Amino acid sequence: MNFAPYRQVLRLPGLGVLMLVGFLARVPATAVGMVITLHVVTALDLGYAEAGLAGAVGMAGAGVGSPLAGRLIDRIGSRPVILVTTVAQAAYWIVAPSLGYEALVVCAFLSGMLSVPVFGLMRQFLAAMVPADKRRTAFALDSMAVEVSFMLGPALAVAGVTGLGSDITMYALAAGMVASGASLFLLNPPITSAEEQAEAAGSVPRRQWLTKRMVVLLGVTAATTFVLAATELSVVAVLRNDGATAWTGLVIAVWCGYSVVGGFIFGGLRRGPSTLQLIGALGAFTIPIGLVGGDWFWLMLALIPAGLLCAPSLTASVETVSAWVPAGARGEAMGLHGTALTVGVAAGAPVAGAVIDAFGAAWGFALGGGVTILLVLAAVPFWPRTPVARPVVEPAEPVARNEVESVPAAV
């Protein structure tokens, strides 16, 4: 494996510390859904339908809030947004244990809207701190960190709720959110590079970057998480039907490991497949997984081709957004990218669940892969045949926000 590109990226000033802080900041965020689910089922003694609704409402709030937070970051900088959202998260998780179900659902939406935008912020920081020719490697590192955080967060949530109770776990989550937000606030990485300062100071109308091709990119980005959500649910259903539920955690963890390996390989490439090609291949390799049946070992092997493409597909979509969007609109664009990921997850699980209930577990893989391929094929006529140049933005007088945040913080 080629480690040289990663060494070069991690040697950039401040980047190693940022990657570590970003990884740790994501762990509490990835535990949120599991904590809410287990709290509703155990502490409130309600069913999984109510738990699923509470989780879905929180996810909807995050989908709405992500581009709004990104737009505010573009206009006023990252620190005010981090401060407000961190305070909001601390308040929510401190009071959540005492809320009844209806109040919990309402507050879950508000909490989702005011989530600390660590996922989008990290991508924005990397785009500002890393030269364009090294961004694929940086975004691949980021995608691998996301995979590992999603392996740790839910597991820690389960351990906390079962061992300490949901109320103590929620208080711990509040502390984790505060630590995450405070770390990012103090680190204060730049959101635009020195070269992009004049561009970021200019006005960036949405019509210049939110074009048909960008909408298409967001659509295929949603397809990526749609197929991943469908695959995860299908794995659970297949193993349960075969009486191998005990192996579910191992199979899903190994599947995530494949994604990390694929992301590492992709991040070391100077040139690689396009976003459409990667996502289309992800869908194509997902369809036949259901043919192996419920034997956990063969299922784990069947997941290799699609698993290797998970992180590269997400990395490529982030890289494309960074290449197509002016620096002054990058926060909102990354927020919309996050919303697309959320929409895919939110749609993938229930749609796949309905298909699994009606036709069997193996059809969940076929649905996820088939929908992904159809969306990729629909995107082909709108996809540019040559590299897209970012829109030229009329420079404006630099404002204090750019003067402060275009200089990397000392770390």
Quickly state the pLDDT bin for 200 (edges 50, 70, 90).
low
Residue 411 belongs to a domain: no
Task: Note whether residue 213 is domain-resident.
Answer: yes
Give the per-residue SS3 of 209-222: HCCHHHHHHHHHHH
Residue 278 domain-assigned (yes or no) = yes
Is residue 405 scored above 50 in pLDDT? Answer: no
Whether the pLDDT of residue 306 is over 90: the answer is yes
Model confidence band, residue 205 (pLDDT cutoffs 50, 70, 90):
confident
Query: What confidence score (pLDDT) does residue 404 get?
Result: 36
302 within some domain: yes
What is the pTM assigned to this prediction? 0.83
Residues 6+ away with beta carbon under 8 Å from 17: 187, 411
Number of structural domains (the chain) is: 1
- 44 belongs to a structural domain: yes
Has residue 177 been placed in a domain?
yes
> What is residue 2's predicted lDDT score, i.e. its pLDDT?
67
310-343 pLDDT, tens digit each: 999 999 999 999 888 888 888 899 999 999 998 9
**At 192, is the secondary structure helix, strand, or coil?**
coil
User: 258-286: per-residue pLDDT in tens?
Assistant: 999 999 999 888 787 899 999 999 999 99
The answer to the question of residue 410 being in a domain is: no
Q: What is the spatial distance between Cα 395 and Cα 306, in angstroms, rounded to a whole number? A: 44
| Integer CA distances (angstroms), 208 to 93, 154, 320, 337, 389, in order | 39, 39, 16, 17, 11
pLDDT of residue 401: 43
- Structural domain range at position 85: 4-388+397-405
The separation between CA 165 and the C-alpha centre of its own chain, rounded to angstroms, equals 28
Structure tokens given for 327: 């620096």
Q: Tell whether 147 is covered by a domain.
A: yes
CATH code for the domain in which residue 401 is found? 1.20.1250.20
Query: Distance of CA 99 to CAs 16, 49, 85, 162, 167, Å?
Result: 40, 18, 20, 20, 11
Cα dist from 86 to 118, 229, 406, whole Å: 11, 28, 23
Q: Is the pLDDT of residue 389 over 80?
A: no
Tokens of 133: 């020719």
Strand ranges in 123-167 using DSSP code E only, listed in sequence order:
none
Average pLDDT score over residue span 174-183:
94
